[in-house]
Amino acid sequence: MLSKKENALKLYRHETPEFLPIMGQGIINNVPVNGYLERAAGGQDGYDWFGVHWMWKPGEPAPIPGPDFILDDISDWKEIVKFPDLDNYDWEAAARTDRIPEFNREENLLYQMIHNGLFERLHTLMGFEEALCALLTDPDEVKAFFWAMADYKCRLIDKIAEYYKPDIICYHDDWGTQRGLFFSPDTWRDLLKEPTKQIVDHTHSLGILFELHSCGDIHDLVPEITEDLKVDGLNIMKLNNIPALKKITGNKVVYNVYFDTQKLDVLAGSRELSEEEIRAAIREDIMTLAPGGCYIPALLLVRPEWQSIILDEYEKCKFCFDR
């Protein structure tokens, strides 16, 4: 039998694995990231290296930027936004902080996070409402900002490639709500598509796989993300119709999909869930999404008491896909 690392890599190479991979076994998501400051470090309030303030309240799953923002008018971005000096940053110390020297590369793929993609960085600087308005009122300035940010992200990926040597980069840029995109597909095509493609292409030129993390319902964009951007993986939510998308994209992209713990959390908030209900929900997720392959179950924001149940159901179901 293949090792868990070899089996996962087979999937990303668009080949048929021997068994269903799962995040955390053969693919290690290197979180939290504290060595380079795309967000504030340490899981607490602080500032990133663009000067953005992040609030991270105890018990919350993720930080949020604000409440004060550094950019009021997108037309001022060239004067206000100061890009980090990546050449004079201590990258060896950053890698040590993020535990890279101890990483077991023999058994695992290193899955390295880069937060705050082009749109995310815009709204961390301006606030969400102002960023959405800027897309409509000042598209030329936004486009210039996105291209400058794409160049910066490529330089950042150069440093991460040199000092972290990841197998996969998971690049974050949330584009959707629970019900649809934040903006029209045409706005995405005009402002975000080509700068993002530059980042994907640059990552591939370094021999690194590229996975796009994007929360929300982004199904309208998935065919173009797959065909034109040529990402290797999509780290997205189950609220996207994954079986329907797989019929469109075939084996061209890996769907790294979160278990639908939102549904379980809603139910758990109204009554006590039985263990069998949790097991049934996990089995349903795997058995619905696994047929045809190109799928990895992703563990995120899972209650600790559910972790062992999920992994037990995974072990029972990991050979349940068409080969």
Task: Decide which of 26 and 302 is more confident.
Answer: 26
pLDDT band at 301 (very low <50, low <70, confident <90, very high): low
**pLDDT over threshold 90, residue 267:** no
At 199, which CATH number? 3.20.20.210
The domain total for the chain is 1
Map tokens 């008018």 to a residue: 73
Please give the residue range of the domain that contains residue 56.
31-258
Asked if residue 120 is part of any domain, the answer here is yes
Secondary structure class of 217 (helix, strand, coil):
coil
Asked if residue 202 is part of any domain, the answer here is yes
Looking at residue 299, its pLDDT comes to 81
Asked if residue 9 is part of any domain, the answer here is no
**pLDDT over threshold 70, residue 321:** no
Dist. CA 209–CA 224, nearest whole Å: 18
Asked if residue 322 is part of any domain, the answer here is no
211-236 per-position pLDDT tens digit: 999 999 999 999 999 999 999 999 99
Looking at residue 128, its pLDDT comes to 96
Looking at residue 322, its pLDDT comes to 62
Q: How many CA atoms lie within 13 A of 14 on its CB side?
A: 12
pLDDT band at 191 (very low <50, low <70, confident <90, very high): very high
Asked if residue 87 is part of any domain, the answer here is yes
**Sheet with 46-47, side-by-side order of all strands:** 46-47, 53-55, 64-65
Retrieve residue 214's tokens. 């994007």
pLDDT band at 95 (very low <50, low <70, confident <90, very high): very high
